[in-house]
Structure 1
């Protein structure tokens, strides 16, 4: 059987390229406490993030919280996070080596995230300043957020690489659903925030337990 040789890789950001959870949790918990609500343990944020900041905040608030109060918490926490990006954020072990390998192999690399576009770009530029990405696409740009495949298909169109020639790497069901909807090869990043059960059930083609595992999937 002829092997597939992939020419492009799309990464999710939070929980895939970068471990951002502590900075996110700190910004939200501090705002919740100031607003009279309970804070949440760090592990809870593994499941709160992934669909954008507004949904994250509504997940952390008690059901029935008045919209005016919820929106105030949303705005204050978002500003706090954007003003304090990258205090503890780091790339996952093995990510820089994987990015270097992809560059050596001349494989196109892009990022598609439901994080707001400007902080997404800032995170990447500050934490991975020496790495090149063909596209960094965050929420708020002119495309529908994941799991809609629109952003992934825009990357495919602009790079001239067919969807079936892309690996799509992410740590959540949102990412695997996006990959399948776009006709891309979904790689579940088990080093991130969600578990392999979620990744399998949401349609991952393969699972990677460390970034170096991705290399063997580039030709499979």
Structure 2
């Protein structure tokens, strides 16, 4: 297949952002004298948007909506001011993106992070690489809903079978399959390789450069 575009997840795929995310949420928890969580635990909380992360991090298994809303608002404020302090591109990502750009592939990001924050992180850590950067604008359109990804490639005049979707979680593999795109998982992210295998990833990369083998 002659692939013409790639859609990447952001957190856990292109950048390691778990420390900034965890530090921000722990700041919110500490203010309320709630237990905090370590970085490894936060890797299980991320992937479905910040609201879902807030719910998972709160000590009450069924927190009331008012508290979720308050913590979400505070988390967004804290994280927005600290989202690029410890966040960095994974080893080999910048080199891969340079090569992909040289091949005239259309590179894009689709994240379940708030769209404003997605663009802020992408612009700070990975500037000038991407045709379009999409994040969460409404809960109804978050991954694994493929609607935004399909609209993106439709605007490019491409078919799903001409696109590779790359991510680190079961949510990303589900999104790729829901969109009928090639589902490629990465083993260096926030979830383990077995999760990607169980979800039916078409390929699993151990190093970024291995994506070139698929092309």
Aligned residue among 126, 139, 146 for 2:124:
126
What's the counterpart of residue 98 of structure 1? 96
Match of 1:89 in 2: 87
Cα separation, 2, equivalents of 1:155 and 1:182: 11
Moved more, 65-74 or 200-209: 65-74
| Distance change in 2, residues 1:97/1:187 (3 Å) | same
Taking the aligned partners of 2:25 and 2:105, their CA distance within structure 1 comes to: 37
1:185 to 171, 182, 186: 182
Q: Which runs of 5+ in 2 are unaligned?
A: none
Aligned equivalents of 1:164 and 1:205: distance in 2?
Answer: 13
Q: Secondary structure at the match of 2:48?
A: coil
TM-score by length of 2: 0.96
1:154 to 151, 157, 175: 151
Question: Structure 2 CA distance, aligned partners of 1:143 and 1:17?
Answer: 24
Per the TM alignment, residue 71 of structure 1 is displaced from its structure 2 partner at its CA by: 2.2
Question: How many residues matched?
Answer: 214
Aligned 8 A contact 1:117 1:141 in 2: no
Determine the structure 1 residue equivalent to 2:77. 79
Q: Say yes or no: does 1:16 pair with 2:49.
A: no
Picking from 34, 41, 46, the partner of 1:44 is 41
Note closer, same or farther for the CA distance 1:143–1:99 as it changes in structure 2 (3 Å cut).
Answer: farther
1:38-82 C-alpha deviation (Å, 9 max, x unpaired): 000110111100111111000011213333223222211111001
* SS of residue matched to 1:154: helix
Preserved CA contact (<8 Å) 1:176 1:202: yes
- String of CA shifts for 1:153-182, please: whole Å, max 9, x gaps: 011101112110111000000000000010
2:193 to 178, 191, 196: 196
Question: What TM-score, normalized by structure 1, do the two folds share?
Answer: 0.94
Q: CA shift at 1:143, angstroms?
A: 7.4
Could you tell me how far 1:141 is from its partner in structure 2?
6.4
Question: Unaligned regions of 5+ residues in structure 1, if any?
Answer: none
